[in-house]
Amino acid sequence: MFGLVPFRNKNLPARDYFDQLMHGFFNDDFPAPFGNMANAFRVDLRETENEYIVEADLPGVKKGDITLRYENQYLTISAKRDETQEVKDESYVRRERRYGQFQRSIYIDNVMDDKIDAKFNDGVLTVTLPKRDKTQRQQSNIQIH
């Protein structure tokens, strides 16, 4: 049997702790055990008059390990992060860095599929999705520059 046991910061008053717990629960797309999204990454979505801009933090990920797909009005970002060094010293007091596969999908309508551009620099993926007429739909794979 699996149960969620929240850890309380004893320096926070009970009301602040409850507010923090609810904020984390309702603001994550899919809450994970203990209130963090261990297998996800943070994404910002901005809109200008002519385009949507998605910025995703992917520290420690190599450009070749990122896959982008735009299909049925969803931009899907998939990435994997490998642990490249073998750990010989098992004296960790705390270990929070995660390795594995990560994926996020974001609904973005009104996009010119064939004009989507992506750049990856210093661990930040920037995807530019130009706007278009809503009547045109198609599926695209996206190259990262």
Domain ranges of the chain: 9-38, 39-82+96-145
- The mean pLDDT of 129-139, rounded to a whole number, is 70
- Beta pairing partners, 44: 55
More confident residue, 42 or 94: 42
CA gap 78, 94 in Å, rounded = 27
More confident residue, 53 or 20: 53
Task: Specify the DSSP element, H or E, that contains 137.
Answer: none
Query: What is the value of pTM for the model shown?
Result: 0.61
Predicted local distance difference test score (pLDDT) of residue 55: 97
Q: Is the pLDDT of residue 17 over 60?
A: no
Cβ atoms within 10 A of the Cβ of 24, count? 15
Instruction: Give phi and psi for 25, each to the nearest 5.
Output: -70, -50
CA gap 41, 21 in Å, rounded = 19
Fold of 39-82+96-145: Immunoglobulin-like (2.60.40)
More confident residue, 123 or 85: 123
- The mean pLDDT of 110-130, rounded to a whole number, is 95
